Amino acid sequence: MRLEKFYKERGQELAGYIYRHISDKSIVEDIVQDVFVSLCREPYVSMFEEMTEVEASRYVYRCIENRIVDYYRKEERKSTVLIDDMDSLSKGELQVNFEDSSIDKIIVSDFIRAVFQRLSEDEIALFKAAYYEQLPRRDLAKQYGTTEVNLNMRIYRMKKKVNQIIKDLGVDIYGN
């Protein structure tokens, strides 16, 4: 099947399929364009021309699904904050590692700083030990001189407090 013919006949349908997964029209257009531009290169052009319409359709949909997954992985990576030095939180210095935008760095570092400024030093230390250093709960319980059950309750209350702080800052943690 000819690639140009396939694009003209099925391009809108493919864009609609992508739009059901990603509601940003510009991203949808970018993905459609990216898929077809990549198919315009050899050996894909020759391979595509030898395919039946059904085979071509399956192949293009598989390419699009891969691009959609790549898009969400990239978005997830963007929103993942890597805190390099948890001790710097108390000093107001926060190292945030992002791939792209320095604006995102500023917004997120200010946001994280705002969250952690509302926690006590003990809660920050517990957060650091439990999540950053990922120490086993049994070891943490010994370190804090308490039982695992009590430690788990402290961590639960701290997470609940952090969620409330995030809500108070006006962020919808559930993406609604």
**Tens digits of per-residue pLDDT, 120-169?**
888 888 888 887 788 888 999 999 899 999 998 998 898 888 888 878 87
Nearest Cα to 57, choosing from 2, 8, 10?
Answer: 10
Name the 3-class secondary structure at 96.
strand
Average pLDDT over residues 32-50: 86
Average pLDDT over residues 66-79: 75
On the question of pLDDT at 106 being above 60, the answer is: no
Residue 99 lies in a domain: yes
Output phi, psi for 51, to 5 deg: -80, 150
Same domain, 140 and 74: no
Nearest Cα to 63, choosing from 81, 47, 75, 78?
Answer: 47
Same domain, 93 and 161: yes
Same domain, 96 and 164: yes
Q: What is the pLDDT of residue 150?
A: 92
Q: In b/e form, how buried is each residue of 56-93, taking b as 16+ CB within 10 angstroms?
A: bbebbeebbeebbeebeeeeeeeeebebeebeebeeee
Q: What is the pLDDT of residue 147?
A: 92
Output phi, psi for 97, to 5 deg: -105, 115
Residue 173 lies in a domain: no
On the question of pLDDT at 12 being above 70, the answer is: yes
Domain that holds residue 161: 82-168
Same domain, 75 and 86: no
Band of pLDDT at residue 108, cut at 50, 70 and 90: low
Strand partners, 97: 82
Report pTM: 0.45
Q: What is the pLDDT of residue 97?
A: 47
Domain-ending residue, one of 64, 79, 94: 79
- Length, in residues, of the chain: 176
